[in-house]
């Protein structure tokens, strides 16, 4: 019925066009009124939508408004400082850096610096020369005492996003940008696809509960496949995914229609079959087994840095894990802390909104526990969760991170317009879709330069901020450098809000 309606509408619209051409009002009005009448009849007869049945035409207008509302809001209503999840001001700075456009703002800050929650770092009366720090030198060595192949990691890297969540073109452009900018690209749990490997950028291979790229047919972990793949020279570090901020404790499903032969090839599964990533790992259970698994992966990979990614849940669980590290002497080389504010391709609303600790709190917990157990010297922390600007990087390093990841920052650099359709396969910019005609809109050569530029100019901003603070290296940053407005007439350093823990400090063990 719907198709018949569309057909008649097309005939009527053609009649309208013909009517207009010959200036014949009768043909013209026929073309205008008949489709509306037909639409009304169709809506009265359909049984799916009550509102349209009771209020034909008007009900549909409301439906269209609902669809258009976010677009109208984004383009006509939203101010520079609103816009969720990423405000316009931040989106613009990413676009400008990616396109190498004017990087300054006129007339002063648009932020209300008297509003509680406003944060800043203090400058020094003795700043360094603005170009005193080389942005390319902003790196940190990852690899504890058991690691044979430590990796020099940029302080700003591409966070986990799989080929499958992102298009092949997006993955290739990200990896090419990473190659040119000498920073790392996390594969996401979908494993290292041919598009991750094509341009030779450094990879962090993420292993989720589906063990993609290193799984047996029954979905369990395959040591032999892991050993073979992890020895690829582009793979510099391995990250076990325990949880992610947008959906901690929730597995994932790769629907059969998205499981194309190339995606299946990367993941080591059968094409066009529905594949599940359970919520928990089958290769280990509990802290001791997790640490033994880390040790095993380190050996199988020939001594590459092995870490895990979590969104902080119960602090007492993390406390137990630290104790087990001390008892067994087995430590990860890095821990990625993801905040509850982190992004995802798709997640249930309750998980995105109401499970998992925010980055700031999770990071402070992790850093405090590792310090208290004297583990921090061997374990690097990578932070993620809305880290997009130079200040975001500095803020998280002040709170305990050694390096940072960004996922959505890189998507914006690729041209994402925050249309929020990543879970529909209709991404208009070709970034988060497997629809070949949409994805082919991405010009990989052009976009890889944008990824490179965004990374480069953001690190340049970090270097200049450090110089203004009179600090020669990110290792000198701490909570004393970061300040926050508590109320209109009260400000505090983060050292006062979250005092840093020293080795042996007593911490909550029953939180």
Give contact residues for ligand SF4 (rule: CB under 6 A).
411, 416-422, 427-429, 431-432
Alpha-carbon span 73 to 70, nearest angstrom = 5
| Length of the chain, in residues | 511
Apex 501 CA angle, 497 and 504, nearest 5? 155
Q: Nearer to ligand FMN by C-beta: 403 or 467?
A: 403
Q: Nearer to ligand SF4 by C-beta: 207 or 432?
A: 432
Please identify, among the stretches 17-25, 47-55, 274-282, 404-412, the one whose residues bind ligand FMN according to the rule CB under 6 A: 404-412
160 binds ligand FMN (CB under 6 A): yes
What would the two tokens of residue 35 be?
A: 């489709």
Please identify, among the stretches 43-51, 98-106, 121-129, 342-350, the one whose residues bind ligand FMN according to the rule CB under 6 A: 342-350
188 binds ligand FMN (CB under 6 A): yes
Residue numbers 234-273 binding ligand FMN by CB under 6 A: 241, 244-245
What would the two tokens of residue 363 be?
A: 């990071």
Nearest CA to 239 among 194, 179, 301?
Answer: 301
Sole binder of ligand FMN in the list 16, 87, 154, 159 (CB under 6 A): 159
Cβ at position 498, least distance to ligand FMN in Å? 21
Sole binder of ligand FMN in the list 305, 307, 343, 356 (CB under 6 A): 343
H runs (alpha helix) in 124-252: 168-181, 194-197, 223-230
Alpha-carbon span 461 to 391, nearest angstrom = 8
Contact 322, 358 (CB under 8 A): no
Partner from ligand SF4, ligand FMN, none binding residue 70, C-beta < 5-8 Å depending on class: none
Cβ at position 418, least distance to ligand SF4 in Å? 5
Q: Nearer to ligand SF4 by C-beta: 379 or 411?
A: 411
Size of the site for ligand FMN (CB under 6 A): 27
- Helical pair 444-468 and 168-181, crossing angle rounded to 10 deg: 40
Sole binder of ligand FMN in the list 342, 362, 390, 400 (CB under 6 A): 342
Alpha-carbon span 138 to 158, nearest angstrom = 15
Within 13 A of 97's CA, how many CA atoms are on the CB side? 23
Partner from ligand SF4, ligand FMN, none binding residue 78, C-beta < 5-8 Å depending on class: none
The string over 272-291, giving b where at least 16 C-beta atoms fall within 10 Å of a residue's C-beta and e elsewhere, is: eeebebeeebebbeebeebb
Residue with tokens 């993390």: 318
Q: Nearer to ligand SF4 by C-beta: 230 or 433?
A: 433
Tell me, residue by residue from 302 to 341, as one string, x for binding to ligand FMN by CB under 6 A and - for no binding. Answer: -------x----------------------------x---
Q: Where are the beta strands (DSSP E) in 208-333?
A: 235-241, 252-254, 275-277, 306-310
Question: Which run of H or E residues covers position 121?
Answer: strand 119-121
Residue numbers at the binding site for ligand FMN (CB under 6 A): 159-162, 165, 188-189, 206, 241, 244-245, 309, 338, 342-345, 384-387, 406-409, 422, 432
């Amino acid at each position: 019925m719907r198709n018949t309606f569309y057909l008649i509408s097309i005939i009527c619209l053609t009649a309208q066009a013909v009517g207009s051409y010959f200036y014949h009002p009768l043909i013209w009005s026929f073309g205008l009124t008949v489709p509306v009448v037909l639409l009304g009849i169709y809506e009265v007869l359909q049984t799916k939508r009550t509102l349209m049945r009771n209020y034909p035409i008007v009900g549909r207008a409301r439906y269209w408004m609902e669809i258009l509302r976010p677009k109208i809001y984004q383009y006509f209503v939203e101010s520079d400082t609103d816009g969720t999840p990423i405000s316009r001001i931040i989106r613009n700075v990413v676009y400008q850096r990616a396109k190498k456009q004017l990087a300054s703002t006129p007339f002063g800050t648009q932020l209300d610096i008297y509003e509680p929650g406003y944060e800043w770092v203090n400058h020094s009366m003795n700043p360094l020369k603005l170009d005193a720090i080389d942005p390319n030198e902003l790196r940190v060595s990852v690899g504890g005492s058991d690691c044979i192949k430590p990796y020099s990691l940029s302080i700003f890297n591409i966070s986990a996003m799989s080929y499958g969540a992102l298009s092949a073109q997006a993955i290739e452009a990200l990896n090419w940008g990473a190659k040119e900018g000498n920073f790392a690209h996390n594969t996401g749990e979908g494993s290292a696809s041919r598009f991750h490997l094509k341009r030779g950028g450094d990879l962090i291979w993420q292993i989720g509960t589906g063990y993609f790229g290193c799984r047996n047919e029954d979905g369990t972990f395959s040591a032999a496949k892991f050993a073979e793949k992890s020895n690829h020279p582009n793979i510099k570090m391995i990250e076990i995914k325990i949880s992610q901020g947008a959906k901690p404790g929730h597995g994932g499903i790769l629907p059969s229609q998205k499981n194309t032969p190339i995606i299946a090839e990367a993941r080591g599964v059968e094409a066009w079959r529905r594949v599940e990533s359970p919520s928990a790992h089958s290769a280990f259970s509990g802290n001791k087994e997790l640490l033994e698994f880390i040790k095993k992966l380190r050996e199988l990979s020939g001594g590459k840095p092995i870490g895990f990614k979590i969104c902080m849940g119960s602090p007492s669980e993390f406390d137990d894990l630290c104790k087990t590290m001390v008892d067994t002497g087995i430590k990860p080389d890095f821990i990625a802390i993801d905040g509850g504010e982190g992004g995802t391709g798709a997640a249930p609303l309750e998980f995105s909104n109401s499970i998992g600790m925010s980055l700031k709190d999770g990071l402070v917990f992790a850093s405090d526990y590792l310090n208290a157990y004297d583990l921090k010297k061997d374990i690097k922390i990578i932070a993620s969760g809305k880290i997009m600007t130079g200040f975001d990087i500095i803020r998280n390093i002040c709170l305990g991170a050694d390096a940072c990841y960004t996922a959505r920052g890189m998507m914006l650099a690729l041209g994402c317009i925050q249309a929020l359709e990543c879970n529909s396969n209709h991404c208009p910019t070709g970034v988060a879709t497997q629809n070949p005609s949409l994805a082919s809109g991405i010009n990989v050569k052009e976009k890889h330069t944008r990824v490179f530029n965004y990374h480069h100019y953001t690190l340049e901003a970090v270097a200049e901020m450090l110089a203004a603070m009179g600090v020669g290296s990110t290792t000198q940053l701490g909570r004393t450098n970061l300040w926050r407005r508590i109320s209109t007439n009260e400000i505090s350093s983060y050292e006062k809000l979250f005092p840093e823990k020293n080795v042996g400090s007593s911490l909550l063990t029953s939180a």
